[in-house]
Amino acid sequence: MNALDKLETIFILAAITLGLIFGQAESFGKIASSLVGPLLVGMIFGVFLKIPLTEISRGFKNVKFALTSLGVNFLWIPILGYGLSTVFLNDFLDLKIGFLMLLVTPCTDWYLIFTALAKGDVPLSTSILPLNLIVQLVLLPVYLFIFAGLNGAIQGGTLIASVFWTLVVPLGASVLVKRFFAETGAFREGLAKIFENGVFVFLWLAILCMFAQEAKRLLSDLTQFKILFPPVILFFLVNFFVGRLVSRLAKFSRAQAVSLSMTTLARNSPVSLAVAVVAFPSRPDVALALVIGPLIEIPVLFLVAKVLLILGRERAEPV
């Protein structure tokens, strides 16, 4: 983990703050709104370029952990999310869709930082990352159609187009680039290092622009934040205890239990942000739900890391 990784959360908070400040200028907000989509697509291209999807089988080396993580992330959490959204967000369709998109896409970046902070098994968490990424790519259109398509919130053609431009095109481009530079021997030594930090730069700029785009709404009217706060907090609370219980039943080591907690708690995959921006251009509350998420998530994950450290000191086999 390099210096940038260790400071990533601080930089993200800075991006949010700067976005809210710069967004008070109406001209900047308009410019920012046109940059969000391209920045997210560029970032996703970098994610695909950086992650060795051909080594996805590494995630299954610890079969029990892989299957447990996949089960919690892609079976239990969608059920929990749908239940919470039905109770709290049934009258706010756009926020409901954004909330569900937030939950069904596990984090593919900063959960490693919090895993390290809580002294979890970082190599194990890293090995599961490509698996989480490819599964969410396959299932996100399915979840989105179930949650949004059946009630007319999104048409099938729009969904296919958004997935194509935000997922298929960056993935295809990354494969072509990898093959070209692999043959010349330049990719691993040069381009890989550039994109290792370039991905975060795209993410940082995208977050700044998203908050600038919605700055006036967020600061003048906290309604959406107040509506989303209870279900998001309940998700973290319920899922924290579910993760602990599952870890006990699976007899995971302390470090493995921490890894499971972080990979099943951290959300806000940039994939869902990119799809939301393209699929719902005239419904900003969908993307707004995905923007508000980090405001709640980042402090919660810090708190969870501290709690897991305390539990680790109190028990001989703290699972």
Q: What pLDDT sits at residue 103? A: 93
Contacts of 20 (CB under 8 A, 6+ apart): 211, 212, 215, 218, 219
Mean pLDDT within 114-140: 85
Residue 318: the pLDDT is 44
- Burial level of 10, CB count in 10 A (0-12/13-18/19+)? exposed
Give the pLDDT of residue 314. Answer: 59
Q: Which residues of 17-53 are buried (b: 16+ CB within 10 A; e: fewer)?
A: eebbebbeeeebbeebbebbbebbbbbbbbbbbbbee
Q: What is the pLDDT of residues 240-268, one digit of tens each?
A: 999 999 999 999 999 999 999 999 999 96
d(CA 173, CA 233): 38
Tell me the per-residue pLDDT of 160-209, one tens digit each, with 9 for 90 and over.
676 677 667 887 887 787 777 665 655 555 665 666 567 778 878 887 88
User: Which pLDDT score is estimated for 257?
Assistant: 96
pLDDT higher than threshold 90 for residue 9: no
- Tell me the average pLDDT of the chain: 81
Domain positions in the chain: 3-312
The band of 319, judged by pLDDT with boundaries at 50, 70 and 90, is very low
Query: What's the CATH class of domain 3-312?
Result: mainly alpha
